[in-house]
């Protein structure tokens, strides 16, 4: 059985990370008056402390989505540092 992919993996990975682990980002997205995908990506970028400036190609947007997913995973990961050798 073959499946059609309507959205790129980078977008679906980002959506899954936001929906499953980041209710704070969901609240930000819900508060947007403009629900355009680019506005949503921009809002997530602000939350991830990623600065966007200029025009982007599709490949650029997908790379940004991948980087935001990585940043969001990092934000929900607990880092424990010890003085052990």
Closest of 26, 14, 22 to residue 64, by C-alpha: 14
The pTM score is 0.84
What does each of the 85 residues of the chain score in pLDDT, given as a tens digit? 556 668 899 999 999 999 999 999 999 999 999 999 999 999 999 999 999 999 999 999 999 999 999 999 999 988 778 876 6
Determine the Cα–Cα distance for residues 46 and 42; give it in Å rounded to an integer.
6
Report domain extents, the chain.
9-75
């Amino acid at each position: 059985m073959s499946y059609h992919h309507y959205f790129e993996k980078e977008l679906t990975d980002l959506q899954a990370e936001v929906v499953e682990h980041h209710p704070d980002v969901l609240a930000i997205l819900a508060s947007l008056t403009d629900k355009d995908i680019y506005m949503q990506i921009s809002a997530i970028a602000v939350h991830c402390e990623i600065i966007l400036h200029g025009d982007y190609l599709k490949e650029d947007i997908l790379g940004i989505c991948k980087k935001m997913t990585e940043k969001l995973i990092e934000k929900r990961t607990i880092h424990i540092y010890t003085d052990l050798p």
